[in-house]
Amino acid sequence: MLGDRPLVAAVLQDYRTAPISDREKALFAFIEKVNRESSLLRKEDVDEVKAAGWSEEALYDAITVCALFNFYNKWVDAAGVGDMTAGAYAASGERLATLGYVPRDPTAR
């Protein structure tokens, strides 16, 4: 989805009607349940998303990202940390897409 802002906007508006694969829709449905009703998750929910082609490792990663963002959002809200501007988000996204998450070693050439 990198570089396709209309696609990202469509997914954010409603992943169910966005022009993404059924496989991706299954993952988003699973994560939606993790996010909204994690105490109601059952083996059948996991089996369904695995049947769509997602591995246990991919589900673990998706659950972890969802949980961490929930934590970070709660912490930011409670600590009173201010939000970034749209321009700062765009610059941060460009930096991450270009350089990744690991800072460069300033001594390396």
What is the fold of 5-98? Answer: AhpD-like (1.20.1290)
Of the chain, the percentage scoring pLDDT greater than 70 comes to: 93
Residue range 39-73, pLDDT digits in tens: 999 999 999 999 999 999 999 999 999 999 999 99
Q: What's the rounded Cα separation, in Å, for the pair 91 and 97?
A: 10
pTM over the 0.85 mark: no
Task: Give the pLDDT score at 109.
Answer: 57
Token pair for 15: 């992943």
Task: Give the pLDDT score at 94.
Answer: 86
Please count the CA atoms within 13 angstroms of the CA of 63 that sit on its side-chain side: 16
> For 68, phi and psi rounded to 5 degrees?
-65, -40
Contact 52, 27 (CB under 8 A): yes
Task: Give the pLDDT score at 95.
Answer: 86
Task: Give the pLDDT score at 106.
Answer: 67
Q: pLDDT band at 89, cuts 50/70/90?
A: confident
Task: Give the pLDDT score at 2.
Answer: 63
